[in-house]
Amino acid sequence: MANSQARIQGQAAWGRRGVSVRLMRHLPCCLYDGNFFDQSSAPIIPKLESDLAALWCFCSSAEFAESVRALDQALSVTESSFRGVPFDLAHWQRIAAEHYPNGLPKPYSDDPTQWIFHGHPKPAIDPLQVAVARLLGYRWLAETDAEMELSEEARAWIERCEALADQVDDDGIVCLPSVRGEPPAHDRLMAMLIAAWETVEPGSWKPSILAKLLADANCAGKGLDVWLRDSFFEQHAKRFHHRPFIWHIWDGLKDGFGALVNYHTLDARNLERLIHTYVGDWIRQQEGGVREGVDGAPTRLAAAQDLKRRLELILEGEAPYDIFVRWKPLAEQPIGWNPDLNDGLRLNIRPFMTAEVLRHNKKPKLNIKWDKDRGKDVDSAPWFPVFKGERINDHHLTLAEKQAARGTS
């Protein structure tokens, strides 16, 4: 919906190469390839693209940040501050020639939070997180975009990812305990890690590698099962800036039911499968344990049945387990668990946090909230009459309201 009080800016930079500078604190920068950008950063575009290497050397040096801060000490600087910074082109051209005799390198990153990340666990800065995501079927943008400008090294790692396809789960649901005859999650993750190392360099996997990975994940001396159960989700949320795309669903017991699910594939059909196939099988196991007098089975059975009930509430979507999207009119609001990924994880995760079925549901370990957004909506916005222009996100709608708006019952 058009907003007459908003305007798109920065179009002059689109399609041109330069340096993108974050306008906060120590002014970190990266190479800019002409895409959209938000108001928290600003691109600096050289008049001649042949001077990009010199500009990059300057902006990525400490001298650049010091020069800007000499002119502007505000927490968030303005783009106008860049105009007063002295730039000795000849000096930085010489430095660029020394550092990049063959020109600037093409994009490459081992950081899984970056679009250009290749997707392979072995060289990644957080191999365990990457391996879990691959196990659940997640793929990074660089893997799916053949036109993206990437280095030959990045393309080589992407090609190596194909050798891991046999380890990938088929429905994006991996249970921590053994359910439906499937191996437990820690065994499947171990297989993924071994494959990630062995397919690159046969014979390279050693037990010491796992020990180091666990130590780096603050789980020294423990196993993958403990890390997955107790630490994975918190670390995953932190790594991906509290927008976790692999969700740890559990029943609250250390020896109870838990499953990792790929949010991007968790549609209504897969949620039904989680409820009836996976949790259902775990419930049947515990019912058998109760009949046989297995220690702890009654407690595990009760916890699993409660988890099943909560997940069914999310599937149905009655308030307060509904999804509310403030930029969609009532007739377009999701009915039940039918999320639109384009609406964003922050809104779609709300029913799961409300039902408290995630390993962590609250701050600080999962820092997601639905406070009203900054700014004001225009009077043509769908919820303007209700919220008087306030950008409210924490609002609930009943199924009856949604169905009436669609003319269904």
61-114 tens-digit pLDDT:
999 999 999 998 887 888 788 888 999 999 999 999 999 998 998 999 999 999
Look-up of token digits 């499968």? 273
For residues 68 and 398, what is the distance between their CA atoms, to the nearest angstrom? 52
d(CA 89, CA 79): 20
pLDDT digits (tens, 9 = 90+) for 2-46: 343 444 556 777 888 999 999 887 899 988 888 888 778 889 999
Range with lowest mean pLDDT among 73-82, 185-194, 219-228: 73-82
Beta bridge partners of 30: 20
Residue 183 in this model has a pLDDT that exceeds 60: yes
119-141 pLDDT, tens digit per residue, is 999 999 999 999 999 999 999 99
Radius of gyration of the chain (CA): 25
- The rounded percent of the chain whose pLDDT value lies above 90 is 84
User: Domain spans of the chain?
Assistant: 11-99, 127-243+251-276, 330-406
Q: Residue 156: pLDDT above 70? A: yes
237 phi and psi angles, rounded to 5 deg: -60, -40
What is the H or E stretch that residue 390 is in?
strand 390-391
Predicted pLDDT at 409: 63
Give the pLDDT confidence score for residue 10 in this predicted structure: 61
Distance CA 34, CA 18 (A): 8
Mean pLDDT along residues 259-285: 98
In the Cβ-directed half-sphere of 222, how many Cα atoms lie within 13 Å? 16
Higher pLDDT, 409 or 202: 202
Question: Other CB atoms closer than 10 Å to residue 70's CB: what's the count?
Answer: 11
The residue among 38 and 47 whose pLDDT is bigger is 47
Structure tokens at 288: 């058998």
